[in-house]
Amino acid sequence: MPTLAVVGLQWGDEGKGKIVDLLSSEAEIVVRGQGGNNAGHCVIADGKEYHFHLIPSGILSPAVICMIGGGVVIDPASLLKEMKELEDQNISFEGRLWISPYAHIVLPYHRLLDAQSEREKGGEAIGTTGRGIGPCYSDGVARLGIRICDFISPEIFKSKLRSILPIKNRFLEKSIEIEEIIDAYTIYAEKLKPFVKPLEVELASEIKRGRKILFEGAQGALLDISYGTYPFVTSSHTTSGGLALGAGVGPQSIERTLGVIKAYTTRVGNGPFPTEFHEGETSLDPKTAREFGTTTGRQRRMGWFDTVLVSHAIRLSGVTSLALTKLDVLDQLPTIKICTGYQLDGQKWTFPPPCIEDLERVTPIYEQVEGWQTNTSEIKKLEEFPKNVRLFLNRLESLLEISIDIVSFGPEREKTWKRKSFF
- Please say whether the beta carbons of 417 and 382 come within 8 A: yes
Distance CA 85, CA 381 (A): 35
Active-site residue (options: 13, 21, 114, 306): 13
Distance CA 322, CA 4 (A): 12
Its sign, for the CA torsion 69, 72, 75, 77, is: negative
* Size (the chain), residues: 423
For 124, 245, 307, 312, 409, the CA distances from 220, given in Å and listed in that order, are 22, 16, 15, 12, 20
Q: What are phi and psi of 280, to 5 degrees?
A: 80, 5
Instruction: Decide if 139 is catalytic.
Output: no
Instruction: Decide if 41 is catalytic.
Output: yes
Distance CA 153, CA 145 (A): 15
Active-site residue (options: 21, 41, 114, 405): 41
- Please say whether the beta carbons of 103 and 73 come within 8 A: yes
Distance CA 159, CA 145 (A): 13
- Please say whether the beta carbons of 119 and 126 come within 8 A: no
> Roughly what angle, to the nearest 10 degrees, separates helices 108-121 and 133-141?
110
**Bridge partners of 4?**
214, 256
Distance CA 303, CA 301 (A): 7
Secondary structure element (H or E) that encloses residue 110, with its range? helix 108-121
Secondary structure element (H or E) that encloses residue 158, with its range? helix 154-169
- Please say whether the beta carbons of 26 and 421 come within 8 A: yes
Q: Which of 151, 159, 129 is nearest to 234 (CA)?
A: 129
Distance CA 341, CA 285 (A): 25
Q: Would you name the residues annotated as active-site residues?
A: 13, 41
